[in-house]
Chain A
């Protein structure tokens, strides 16, 4: 059975770019779900089978850090891995994301090769 991914970013352009990068990297998902903020992402995780989440940090309504914190409190979804894709690369914010369960981070801008390098071992 194939895997499903959830892309979380307030930019629809960036969600499309990430989806295209996954295909260019040869990473094939059965379903690519999308959410524009943390709140929408939580709703998708509660209703769909998702194997991994790729999430931005700076977003309106619920940012990536708050999303990780809320997700960690929900037993049914807390173990779904989250990879951050963000312009935020500081040790403090990435450290906080990892302390809340993020499994890694990719800096924007990125290449499909970088996505494959970081995401590949997680699948």
Chain B
């Protein structure tokens, strides 16, 4: 049975879930920032993962090329030269694990979430859109002069 998502602090859940992934898998201590507007995202790689079940929406990991290569290099233990399939796959897996932690957060308030398989896009000028009534939260993170953003958009469809 789904309940009102206002009973959960999604900012804190995203911060904790994202920092958990980076500290456990990458030994990186992320610094979180205050929520930002979508227009402030400065990325050219995004891994998007669809959310289903009691909600309908998406979780996105957005980052510039430099950050994407740094994360992938740390995960694979090698130097990354360009935005290749390894980078797409690695950032997709980061999105998958953050979404997994968020799924547990939603379960605390009785919301069952289904996770799709992530899709990664690259480019210079694109943006994600949302349904007008969708809840939207974008949290910036940084580490060692690298930036990334975690974006959550959803509507509750089964409450």
Whether chains A and B associate is yes
Chain A residues within 8 Å of chain B by Cβ, number: 21
B107 touching A90, Cβ below 8 Å: yes
Tell me, in angstroms, the Cα distance from A37 to B101 when the chains sit together: 23
Interface residue tally of chain B, by bracket?
20 to 34
CB distance from A89 to the nearest CB of B (A): 6
Q: Which of A13, A60, A109, A110 contacts B76 (CB 8 A)?
A: A13
Looking at A14-22, A25-33, A43-51, A65-73, the stretch in contact with chain B turns out to be A14-22
Chain B interface, >50% SS class = helix
Q: Which of B21, B75, B101, B117 contacts A13 (CB 8 A)?
A: B75
A87 touching B90, Cβ below 8 Å: no
Q: Known contacts A89-B100, A108-B100: does B76 contact A10 (CB below 8 Å)?
A: no
Chain A interface, >50% SS class = loop
B93 touching A58, Cβ below 8 Å: no
Q: Which of A11, A60, A88, A107 contacts B93 (CB 8 A)?
A: A11
Tell me, in angstroms, the Cα distance from A111 to B103 when the chains sit together: 20
CB distance from B158 to the nearest CB of A (A): 16
Interface set of B (CB-CB < 8 Å, partner A): 20-21, 24-25, 72, 75-77, 85-86, 89-90, 92-93, 96-97, 99-101, 103-104, 107, 115, 117
- Across chains A and B, which 8 residue pairs bring their CB atoms closest together, nearest first? A87-B100, A109-B24, A13-B90, A11-B93, A109-B25, A13-B89, A109-B21, A108-B97
